[in-house]
Amino acid sequence: MSPIDWAIIVVYFIGIAAIVWWSSRHQDTSEDYFLAGRDVAWFAVGASVFASNIGSEHIVGLAGSGAINGMAQAHWELQAWILLLLAWFFVPFYFRSGVFTMPEFLEKRFDARSRWVLSVVSLVAYVFTKVSVTVYAGALVFRTLLPDTFGTPDNAFWVGAFTTVILTGIYTVLGGLRAVVYTEVLQTGLLIMGSAFITFFGLSQLGGWGELQSVLSERADQFALWRPNSDNAFPWLGVLIASPIIGVWYWCTDQYIIQRTLSARSLADARRGAIWAGFLKVWPVFIFMVPGMIGYALHQKGLMTIPGTGDQIMGDMVFPTMVASLLPLGLRGLVVGSLLSALMSSLASLFNSSATLFTKDIYEKLRPGRSERELVRVGRIATGGVVVFGLLWIPIMKVVSENASGLYDYLQNVQGFLAPPITAVFLLGLFHKRTNGQGAFWALVIGFILGMAKLTLQTLVQSGLMQPTGVLGSIGAFNGYYFTGVLFAISILVVLGLSYLTPAQPDEQVVGLTYQSVTAEQAVENRASVGLPDFIATGVVLALVLGAYVYFSFWLS
């Protein structure tokens, strides 16, 4: 890191500080703090959704996955079409309901019990997966780029982890969602620009796209988009089952993402923001995953050395090594700034979403009638609490990640065990009027218990503490992506079975909350919020996703 690199990073932080200062002056009500006063334009909504999704675990983890697994995990990144489902089918109900959180929407649709379960599950998942994984990935880059700045590489790891968490926590506490959204507009540009430079310089060093294909073709099975069903890690059928289930949960029901659309100034802005985010979501395969494969090819040709053991490279070190080895002075600072952007934007989103869940779904339920000023204060305290718990979990995350097959694979497995019951409840809740609170509540509870049991058994088998024999061992060894589909089917059966065995909800309780109970006024509002640009943009996103699937299905043949 040269003085020019450091200067670029300083300018980045000055920009962040200016946005936070401006945002902190508009925090009078809980709506201001948690939803930016519901006054965000579509462009900022979409950029915020994208930047919230792309954390340092994506940049580091996707590059590592590209180097180790090739295109096998690209299916998750090519789920941009699911953001179109959010825009056209989910957003109208969420936005019109006037809720702050997704658990609050479940209470409106079903009952308070479902709200409690989803609130607790979401908070636990945020702290123990997203916060810790994001921070760990960012700290890896500090360890690689600044190995001697703080004495030792491990010191650089911990200084990077704690500094970014604390700084992000401060600006989230002060500025609320408005600061998060508008810093993410800045961070989106940096993310795309920085990663595009890595791709450009990597291909230049390698000798072009044709040379990349030539090197990867020597191990085409490893780098192919589709793997046979006999593949233990990424059977194509299991991937096709799991990725949409996880995608609908993440993009269409998770507070972390949906909160940005709830902050839009109108239904049209919320929809267009989701479509814009879908367009942005197409590109991570090219600017995050492809660089990982470029890194592998450079390593194979002896043009760069990636740390590892024997013939096995350490995937999560690919991106940091490329930054340190390939980029000229100045650009290195820009790319580090983009990584900081990814880390801080995801963390800020997590902190604010967690604080919103705690304040609106737990604190306000336990102590109703609190003043707006008190709710804002509690939200800030809750943000600080999430920061502390995230920091405490980092050492454990460090051990888990170093003993797993990479950050991204770890994250998708955990999400695959959390997502199915939530996806089932929301889909049936919106599209099937007869679904009731009994079915929703027990599907969430049973699904969460089964998912956590599978995660525990799988971890024991993978760590060698349990043999993959017997009933429990076989469950632990069963492919996690197929299990996602099994758990989704079980959740649907529980929802429908218990719903039909118990009385239906009164019509007045579900009016306007399902597709079978949309009012004439709501239908008119929906039509009025749609314009020709929405249809054109939707077609562009679908064409890009389809084009990427077709190209990468045959690119190594």
| Secondary structure (DSSP) of 49-116 | HHHHH--HHHHHHHHHHHHHHTTTTHHHHTTHHHHHHIIIIIHHHHHHHT-SSHHHHHHHHS-HHHHH
pLDDT tens series, the chain, 557 aa: 678 878 888 887 788 788 777 776 666 677 777 777 788 899 999 988 888 887 766 777 788 888 888 898 888 888 899 999 999 999 999 998 888 899 999 999 999 999 999 998 888 777 766 776 777 766 776 776 676 677 777 787 777 777 777 777 777 777 777 777 777 777 777 778 877 888 888 899 998 999 999 999 998 888 999 999 988 888 999 999 999 999 999 999 998 889 889 989 999 999 999 999 999 999 888 888 898 899 999 988 888 888 876 677 877 788 888 887 887 877 777 777 777 766 777 777 778 888 888 888 888 888 888 888 888 888 888 877 877 776 776 676 666 555 555 556 666 777 889 999 999 999 999 999 999 999 999 999 999 999 999 988 987 887 778 888 889 999 988 988 999 999 999 999 999 999 999 999 998 889 989 998 888 888 999 899 999 999 999 999 999 999 999 999 999 87
pLDDT for res 543: 97
Closest CA to 541 of 106, 215, 87: 87
Task: Kindly list the structural domains of the chain, giving each domain's residue range(s) and its CATH number in brackets, ordered by start.
Answer: 3-11+26-397 (1.20.1730.10)
Q: What is the pTM of this model?
A: 0.87
User: Helices marked H in 207-301 — which ranges?
Assistant: 209-217, 220-223, 236-252, 255-262, 267-281, 284, 290-300
Strand partners, 309: 312
311-343 as b/e: b if 16+ CB within 10 A? eebbbbbbbbbbbbbbbeeebbbbbbbbbbbbb
Compute φ and ψ for 308, nearest 5 degrees. 175, -170
> For residue 186, how many other CB atoms are within 10 A of its CB?
18
> For residue 446, how many other CB atoms are within 10 A of its CB?
17
- 């760590």: which residue's tokens? 463
E strand spans, 260-416: 308-309, 312-313
How far apart CA 13 and CA 337 sit, in angstroms, is: 9
pLDDT for res 529: 92
